[in-house]
Amino acid sequence: MMQIDINHLNQYYGKKQVLYDINLSISTGMFGLLGRNGAGKTTLMKTLVTLLPTNEGEIRMNGIDIHDQKKIRSIIGFLPQEFSMYGNMTAYQALDYLAVLSELDKRTRRTRINALLDQVNLTIHKNVKVKAMSGGMKRRLGIAQALLNDPKILVVDEPTAGLDPEERLRFRNLLAEVSENKIVLLSTHIAGDIEATAENVAILEQGRIIFSDSIEQLLLNAQGKIFSVQVPRTELSTAKKQVQIISLQQEGSTSHLRFIGNPQAQIMQHPLVIEERPTLEDAYLYLLSMKGGD
């Protein structure tokens, strides 16, 4: 059983505080960290992988204190947001180079790299130069890189940025597979990235954790709060003033709205209003709206 414990973490850039009293317990499996751009996700990830010093508070991984940098680094793999690798090398060469830096012997390197290439579905591309790869292939190579030392904890920051829907799905499935016997900590601003794969989620908003529980619980909170309606396009601007719109589709002169319910809003009385089953995106937006954000 893997375990990360974060207690009363405060982080600063100079005098500017960006993380406030973070408390989290994370155990084996996929854990999602959801938050808008600038919420502090990258700062938290970089702190966990010891690229930023811990200013205040305590972090332990499997009981090891974060200040024991060498031990912590030996159990962590990291795929940063801005990941780039030796473009002129092939996929295999790049991994082999990194494995040499990690002081793996020749035989271990060969077996492990081939197994990893297989796992991330890049075996047939192993002789393709990194710079010639698609975004999705590069991200998968990034995961192979992060898994080289067989880490117990894998940290991935905004892994699906810039990927097309098919690559995104493939990448999600890969992470789910990997998380079977590890902690996979995935940070994203896209709720869909963790909807099908993570069991637990923490939501970071302006440097504070505003929710930390199961995805099921987050969905339950939004139950009975999400609605849809069709109105003539001419009534759209009135509707927009009354409720927070989640999505909008125009079809000829009709507007299909999905929105967060508000008992006081007149539109709730509309005969065509239907209660919808919340998606994670809905539930996330609902939570943000409750916290006064927008």
- Mark the segment that binds ligand ATP (CB under 6 A) among 35-43, 101-109, 126-134, 276-284: 35-43
Does the footprint of ligand ATP cover residue 188 (CB under 6 A)? Answer: no
Q: Concatenate the DSSP letters of all residues of 154-188 into one string.
A: EEEESTTTT--HHHHHHHHHHHHHHGGGSEEEEEE
Q: How far apart are CA 46 and CA 42, in angstroms?
A: 6
Q: Which of 201, 190, 117, 199 lies closest to 160, judged by CA?
A: 190
CB of 18 to ligand ATP, least distance (A): 4
Binding residue for ligand ATP, selected from 31, 41, 83, 174, defined by CB under 6 A: 41
Q: How far apart are CA 47 and CA 135, in angstroms?
A: 26
Does the footprint of ligand ATP cover residue 39 (CB under 6 A)? Answer: yes
Does the footprint of ligand ATP cover residue 130 (CB under 6 A)? Answer: no
CB of 203 to ligand ATP, least distance (A): 11
Does the footprint of ligand ATP cover residue 210 (CB under 6 A)? Answer: no
| Residues 2-31 as x/- pattern, contact with ligand ATP by CB under 6 A | -----------x--x-x-------------
DSSP 120: T
Residue 79 makes CB contacts below 8 A (sequence gap 6+) with 139, 142, 143, 145, 146, 154, 155, 156, 157, 159
**Residues 94/85, Cβ–Cβ less than 8 Å:** yes
Q: What is the CA radius of gyration of the chain?
A: 22
Does the footprint of ligand ATP cover residue 37 (CB under 6 A)? Answer: yes
Q: Which is nearer to ligand ATP, 11 or 197 (CB)?
A: 11
Q: Which is nearer to ligand ATP, 64 or 80 (CB)?
A: 80
Q: Which is nearer to ligand ATP, 40 or 151 (CB)?
A: 40
- Count of positions (residues) in the chain: 294
| Residues 57-96 as x/- pattern, contact with ligand ATP by CB under 6 A | ----------------------------------------
Does the footprint of ligand ATP cover residue 40 (CB under 6 A)? Answer: yes
Does the footprint of ligand ATP cover residue 42 (CB under 6 A)? Answer: yes
Sheet holding 64-65, edge to edge: 16-27, 3-13, 56-61, 64-65
Residues between 156 and 175 that touch ligand ATP (CB under 6 A): 158
- Mark the segment that binds ligand ATP (CB under 6 A) among 37-45, 163-171, 241-249, 267-275: 37-45
**Residues 31/5, Cβ–Cβ less than 8 Å:** no
Binding residue for ligand ATP, selected from 43, 47, 149, 179, defined by CB under 6 A: 43
Q: How far apart are CA 11 and CA 34, in angstroms?
A: 18
Q: Which is nearer to ligand ATP, 154 or 239 (CB)?
A: 154
Q: How far apart are CA 274 and CA 220, in angstroms?
A: 18
By the criterion CB under 6 A, which residues form the site for ligand ATP? 13, 16, 18, 35, 37-43, 158
